[in-house]
Amino acid sequence: MHNVESNGARIPALGLGTWELRGDQCARIVEAGLKAGYRHVDTAQGYGNETQVGEGIRASGVAREDIFLTTKIWHDNLKAGPFRAAAEESVAALGTGYVDLLLIHWPNPAVPIAETMGAMAEVRAAGLARHIGISNFTVAQIDEAVAASEAPIVTNQIEYHPYLDQTKVREACARHGISVTAYCPIARGKVVGDPVIDPIAGRHGKSAAQVTLRWLVQQPDVIAIPRTSSPARLAENLDIDDFALSEEDMAAISGLARPDGRLVNVAWAPDWD
């Protein structure tokens, strides 16, 4: 799997998402994923599984320096003092000494973006995180974060799949050299059985999920972090490097986007672009 170069970071284009994975299951999936070949693992303070992610990393036997590890700080910890404390707690829970990428999980309108970006710069300078980034930021918030940040922002992690057009946000990220990391990349399984994706998958001898992941990582500066609780699915999701989609395939899948395609919309979400 290729890497995405983004403002000084080198990020594996396919990562292992861990949202909703808990306890021993989480540790086992992380261990299995790393043994299968994943080198990018994504977690978050809000997932409640950082300790288990760390356990899985250690059990895998893969060297820490060979793993790109991301975690995120929850939106109620974005003021300077709580942010630093939360970052320290996350790194301690993971037991990895540092994370490769630390993200703001959701923007919080009650906390100035400049304050949080300042706290992130301090956390990075202290060695707790090698790189910093954002998640669920709109175009205006991306611009504001870049203007306020002392350190380069390397990614904006957003919901992105065939049913959700993220052109505006992707273009804003591209202006600043920021990659896009796609969560819910297979639309929580909705791509399975899709009448447009299935024939494309059949022509390539791949599953609908594999074709969708390929559609994502074949786009410039896009990273995908599928989550699965199935060890068998781990290998399937990783097996997308031996084919390429045509321009026609790419356009057909992009054409599936629709106004009601968003799946994640929490009470504290910003006004989406």
Q: Which of 47, 160, 163, 183 is catalytic?
A: 47
Rounded to whole angstroms, the Cα distance separating 120 from 115 reads 9
105 among the known binding-site residues? yes
Residue 149 has phi, psi (to 5 degrees) of -90, 130
Beta carbons of 140 and 167 less than 8 angstroms apart: no
User: Residue 168 belongs to what H/E stretch?
Assistant: helix 167-175
Residue found by looking up tokens 């060979």 in the block: 66
Beta bridge partners of 16: 41
Starting at the earlier edge strand, list the strands of the sheet with 179-183: 16-17, 40-42, 68-73, 99-104, 129-135, 153-159, 179-183, 222-224
Question: Which tokens hold the place of 108?
Answer: 């919080």
Count, residues in the chain: 273
Examine the residue annotation and report whether 183 is marked as an active-site residue of this protein.
no
Binding-site positions read: 105
Positions marked catalytic: 47
